[in-house]
Chain A
């Protein structure tokens, strides 16, 4: 069964460093998402991406964040200068269409720890 994969599973970085989280969505999917979950809190939407551009972003997704689909398979989230409060589990998701009943398929997540 097709699945979304994410690498690395755990990333430790120092405050101020840049990190890139990688995702490989399901191959025929067209809509891509990043969510995050700070420990003990809700899973929160960060950004959605379709047709090589951002479709929607949340207030969390400020200028320190960027997304890219550098080739036909990868979807990346970059944080330019990490802060302590960026420590969270980051989930990538994809769906084959963007309608109101579309199912999003999630990866296993990358745990980011900023020290």
Chain B
């Protein structure tokens, strides 16, 4: 079965510093990986995805993610954090076992960026 794990419930970083939000995955075939962000009292918004190709994927709002097949990781990164990046971040994988109809989410990591 496909799964994703986000080992940190919370990440704290100072504004201007680089940030990393960790995600590891377990899939039976080729991984289709996603990052979503949720701001307070809002629905989730798609940030970026990895399907194939370059291991460094660029997405919205200056975020990027690094796919590492040997470590089965897909960490979200940003070179310089903003206070407005404070939100809940979800890593997700498309469930290829069921034909790709389902997306499985991690438990989420809350990011706090301090001014």
* A and B are interacting partners: no
